[in-house]
Structure 1
């Protein structure tokens, strides 16, 4: 009856596992499966107690066990298993035949994950397991059953055959508590009332399979591979996010939201990265106000009205302001993107060219004296080309502009102040 109860209990337990997997479609909160069935068969070696004259052959005994295992995470889990052992006398020895049954609840430590086996192998693994259980023995040497508790510890080696199956080899030691009879089934041992502690020992050596249950691609036993894949996926997503958040024109609107991804630095934009231009004339409103102010000052001067607070610039016409070097586009060291502080001067030139469609312009690029002359010549050209592209995007034809890069020989005495030499100037014709 007790044997039947153990079998039924294990069957119900494993059936519940299978149903949970089917209903939930695997562990929803995990990226790996957690349940497995462990099936093993092999040898059983009882060592003590035997009465004198009784023993078993080294390789003539039989053991099977079936377990259901649940891993809380890749390192720790629990296992419920049922085991059966049968052993009998060899030839020409006092005869006996005994059967041993057990059911155990065990903790499982996945040593492969704890010790980072993935650093040198992705196919081999080791698990330690141990726990408490109930067992009983029957024998042709006594009537009824010898009921006892047991404590076991074991070590399991695993070799992964696929994501759903692993080959395992296990070695387990079992100590019985309050065993009444010797393994040969005689009654003399059990009649000694004070000899009922840890008084029975047997060993199991088995081979078998771990069958992984669930819909995910990997089981917790090998979850480090999934963790690597997840990390790579997260790195890829992070890289994509960083790319999305790039702000090429530095207007405060990420590229993936920016519908005008070439606004000049320092220009106010709306939520979609478009320069604010309420009158739709191609010049951002804040820069247009600057240009109009400078133009009014220049006109007032030409009519004999002196400017106030503008210094030398207010006494010049727009053409004079440009050609005499009052309008400059400055750059940082080794850069060909204009400083945001130069935005107003750039759109001053754009406005003049728009108002004077027959005018053409030389765009003169300069670099400071640090570095090789050939490099500085190329950097000067890049700065002029960058400014030309900005002016073209504002609606001025590129055919009206000529690139003029300057070398060190063209810098003159102004070369002493390096920050004032890294610039682009204009010559209107």
Structure 2
């Protein structure tokens, strides 16, 4: 029986909150420790299920793991158990964790073979591995799919060779995996239509500090000159921009005065602007974001007066991970907005829960929803609901914190996968939330 959150809404929150390290960066950075036999120290690790499972998996595979504190860890991959990484226990464990696909690039580069499980994780539509596998193939790996246990087996007996490739989509994990494989390949690899999210920029900076030669970081054209080996390094992860966006939305919905400390403001891209377009006031104060308590917020229109559309787009566009948050926050704004989720086809299916709570939303199709803001005329009402994926889970949590009465959110394992001690941290701000 998985646990649930019991939330009594309607409290105004107040105080300071520090975002965790970035989940999506963590899965790449921690996989990259497999690229060297030297010690790598990583700071600002988020203490969440997905990350802890990956660290456990590396430990099982023979990586020496010294967890100095929950957010700081030393890794040394100088004695990897390759047999374990091809065996049944690994298959079972890695199948539970989407992020485990990220160790394929490092393993292929350093040892010439890797297994990739077919993806698990969120129920947000198909998440293909084509970009990863085709990229590895172009670098000279061969693969076959073992249908009896849902695995891709990759081998590069002759080593990997640098090449030019144009990715079919700017997949963040795909780009990261290919980059990690290419840093140790022979010759030069050029990746066009590469993802350029801050997570990936961080990975490239880390690899360069280990001795890799990657140029074009931050653009969609990466050039990687292969080297024969990499050394150790220290790396500090960025704060999680999805958490930061969630807290901005939470403050607006609950009319709270919050300060988000150490928010890595330079890496947030367009995120603050998108929340401002919903009428939310926020001030950047150094590296902190201050959100004053607002009685109401009004969605802007486009300059010609037409209804605002907020759509996701590969970086530096708006991240799809925050669209569910924007959608929830819009339910209590004044005005209307079209939310267009282009990249995943079932991420909007949680809106039926919001409609049950009294929100006015028209779900046009699996990708688009029109939100008609209630302008706080009618508060949402508490209900019992279940969380389908990490981001929807937190959106529902924000809705519950602003609603009248009691809400129960089930299946919160999904929330714990991506947000550390979220109930405790919200209680410190004055939220009425308990784990049951």
TM-score of the superposition, structure 1-length normalised?
0.22
Instruction: Tell me: higher relative CO, structure 1 or 2? Use CA pairs within 8 A at least 6 residues apart.
Output: 2
The answer to which structure has the higher strand fraction is 1
Higher-Rg structure is 1
The alignment's TM-score, normalised by the length of structure 2, stands at 0.21
